[in-house]
Amino acid sequence: MLNVLARRTMVAALMTAATLGSMGFQSRDGQDRRVLIINQTGVTMTHFYASNSGQDNWEEDILGSEVLPSGRSIRINIDDGTGACVYDFRARFVDGDVLNRYRINVCEITEYRYTAN
């Protein structure tokens, strides 16, 4: 009896974890907007912005107080709740460089790589 109860509890916990885990990554329209941002520039990224291409201004810095050293990556859920798939990216680096990339379809890609020029 105890083994059956323990198994049921474990199955319920795993199903709950799977449901909660997927809730933060898939929007209401079913599109997965998670993008792995990869920094291979040789310079630490200090700021990263992803703004709906229909906007005139950059949204908040997604990295916040964190940085993204060269050779590292971060997975970001780029979903502003509007259903948009096309975003503009802006990355700022510790050396002062700013790289803007326009019209990135985050519903079609799973990673975006910044490389040294």
pLDDT at 72: 97
pLDDT at 29: 76
Of residues 14 and 81, which shows the higher confidence score? 81
CB atoms within 10 A of CB 40: 13
Give domain 27-115's CATH number out of 2.70.70.10, 3.40.50.11540, 1.10.10.10, 2.60.40.2890. Answer: 2.60.40.2890
Q: What is residue 24's DSSP assignment?
A: T
- Residue (of 28, 6, 18) closest to 80 by Cα position: 28
Q: Taking a C-beta distance cutoff of 8 angstroms, is the pair 18, 10 a contact?
A: no
User: Domain map of the chain by residue range?
Assistant: 27-115
Partners of residue 66 on adjacent β-strands: none
Minimum mean pLDDT among 17-26, 50-59, 90-99: which range?
A: 17-26
> Residue 6: pLDDT above 60?
no
Q: Taking a C-beta distance cutoff of 8 angstroms, is the pair 25, 106 a contact?
A: no
- Using pLDDT thresholds of 50, 70 and 90, give the confidence band for residue 30: confident
pLDDT digits (tens, 9 = 90+) for 32-89: 999 999 999 999 999 999 999 988 899 999 999 999 999 999 999 999 888 999 999 9
